[in-house]
A and B are shown apart, each in its own frame.
Chain A
């Protein structure tokens, strides 16, 4: 298996809320979602194991989101990897690699429509050098503090995250 294949899928129920500024679990017409504020940068964290069939081609993260009410404006979503591995990370502390951003130029024109946006992480440092068979964490953060690239009002609702080999 190689480029274009799904590696991991994270449902919102898989979220491991950080101790501060966590995205909050919500329901929208029965759909579980994670609400990200439009004022404070909030984060969700997911744990996975990189499948053995990962071929070293880098990973593209796909964010499936909707806006609670906004039909105009932009959002910025940051993703970051933390390698847990085999003796690679002291889990008493955090060690995420630098985040990679996707700047969504326009949220959907209907607030209930789910948009799918993506950003690529090259193999190696951008993925915190996670290797096949290793546990890792992946964080998703909305960045309303970036007033240039995040202007949409109200919550952003994360529906799912897919990691695919680029």
Chain B
């Protein structure tokens, strides 16, 4: 369930090689602060896929995901963060992406309240249990899982995306969300139980 976030996001390059060639995030930030445009290109190359993964996990509209992704890097350019030499830029970018999604979700709720935007409906139940195409069934389950993740309450949804889909460790997830590790563990467990319930996976808690 937990996957690596670093090296496979850098297409064709391993994480260690990249840092050796181009320097750490802190080095790149310093170079960008001095007007080095190549440093900006490298930062975008290094982090764009991961930021996009977070956004795709949280938001269903792919065009808006592209806008969010651009906005994240625009905000980075306008007001770059100050990092210590050992810190990475990833958590700051993820936090910015989360804030953008939260703002948009809040505005959409207001528009939904005024019936200006349709509420997203649940996908139809997967009907065929006799389909010979197991892969198609799995794909359908995966799509349903993604829908159900987006339907979770925001606090749970964010934890699931960061922990289970992005593979961030608990302390880093807590740092991005501005909460404690215990809260992250608690929310993640509740979210997983809810997802399992919505997807009808496993039995309800058995009584002894």
| A and B held together in a complex | no
